[in-house]
Amino acid sequence: MKNILKHIHLLFLAIFVLLAYKMLFDFESVARWFGGIISIVSPFLIGFVVAFCINIPVSWLEHKILKIKYKWVKKIARSVSVLVILAIVISVLVLGVSLFIPMVYENVSQLIALMPDYIDQAINAIKRIPLVQTMGIDEQLDVFTQGGVSFEGIFDSFGGGNIDLIGTAGGVGMWLFGSLFTTILTIVSTIYFLLEYNRMRDFFKRLISAMSNEKRQGRALKYVRLIDLSFRKFISCQVLDSIILGTIVTIEFFLIGSSYALVLGIMLGVLNIIPYFGSIFGSIIATLIIMFEQGWEIGVITAIILLITQQIDGNFINPKIMGTSFKISPVLVIIAITIGGAVGGVPGMIFGVPTMNVLKTLLEEYVEKKEKQKNSKPVEIAPASD
């Protein structure tokens, strides 16, 4: 067994050295290779992430079903839990499409139709700033607004009538086929990941047990549970907090009298899933839209209301939901979101915070361990001098 582990370690070392060499001297080919690999496995990665999120209510329901005494019920507990939760998710999606999507579509259509007027109001407000007039920026804004944009010019810029319609249609068709195939593969992989979750977990435990001694096995399983708990709790708590915040601000926008209360509330709720920056960015957008719609006085009132709501959410609602498991410094949150966004886009920004929480916990345990070792060493008493 030791020889096998030794050869595995040598294999990983060789792969690491090869990748390091290629990244230093041929980074573009490595980037293309990684991009190709990611594009191939992306449906399975997305399916795993979706399955991991949906598995939270599935595991809860399975735990309830397993309390039933009948053996045949316990055998189908996982399958029944997956089917029930998927049925609920599909029902919610259908209900959202049939009821809320038309309302959101109407709000968005009105917002898009009025957006040119809002942009003109913003430009006129900027032009009235003394510093802008002194620097001559207002004249540049006049040129921009008076120039306009024509669809004919856009069409001509892309080649006008010389566009290969057959080639374009073929490209669009291939894109639609690829997107449909990826979507179906993602859905299928999500279902299989959900059904096989317990088997994959048990196999992973067996793998750790086979490749390590008892001490290392306990340590590895401890860290796996820490990672699983961190991601599971963060996702479930952040989604719940976003639903609560989205509901509160939607009611506030209705009371203010905004025509876009529903769409702005949904936007703020969704953006709140991204920690720290999401709610700030969403509040700025909502304030500007309401300011253009109802005037600067209502806009200022909206900004104050959203600021108070965010403070209540950040200091009372969110800590109550999260508990004591995610006490992370705002600096670490910003670093986690920045690095996560650079690596994995929006999903990276969401998963960056629990990843940082895991790293912080591991580092704290390492420091505590070293401090205990240092303090447990016997103090050497120097011999008395004559």
Q: Mind listing the pLDDT tens digit for each residue in 227-236?
A: 877 787 888 8
> Residue 365 CA to chain centroid, in angstroms?
27
Alpha-carbon separation of residue 363 from 64, 271, 272, 356, 369 (angstroms): 36, 30, 28, 10, 10
Burial class, 289, CB count within 10 angstroms (exposed 0-12 / middle 13-18 / buried 19+)? buried
Buried b (16+ CB within 10 A) or exposed e, 38-67: eeeeebbebbbbbbbbbbeebbebbeeeee
292: helix, strand or coil? helix
Note whether 283 and 303 are within 8 A (CB). yes
Q: Examine the pLDDT at 241 and tell me if it is beyond 60.
A: yes
| Residue 141: φ, ψ to 5° | -65, -35
Q: Between the CA of residue 225 and those of 10, 231, 351, what are the distances in Å? A: 28, 10, 16
Please tell me the pTM assigned to this model: 0.61
Instruction: Quickly state the pLDDT bin for 4 (edges 50, 70, 90).
Output: low
Greater model confidence, 353 or 252: 252
For the chain, give the percent of residues with pLDDT over 70: 68
What is the per-residue pLDDT for 134? 64
pLDDT of residue 326: 66
Dihedral angle of Cα 207, 210, 216, 220, to the nearest 10 degrees: 10
- Report d(CA 47, CA 187) in Å as an integer: 7
pLDDT band at 150 (very low <50, low <70, confident <90, very high): very low
pLDDT at site 77: 85
For residues 178 and 90, give the distance between their C-alpha atoms in angstroms, rounded to a whole number.
Answer: 23
Nearest of 302, 296, 261, 300 to residue 122 by alpha carbon: 296
Longest dimension (CA), the chain: 105
The region of weakest confidence among 20-29, 82-91, 144-153, 206-215 is 144-153
Handedness of CA 104, 106, 111, 113 (dihedral sign): positive
Domain boundaries, the chain: 212-371
Nearest Cα to Cα of residue 269 among 224, 306, 315: 306
Helix, strand, coil distribution of the chain in percent, nearest 5: 90, 0, 10
Per-residue pLDDT band for 104 (boundaries 50, 70, 90) equals low
DSSP 258: -
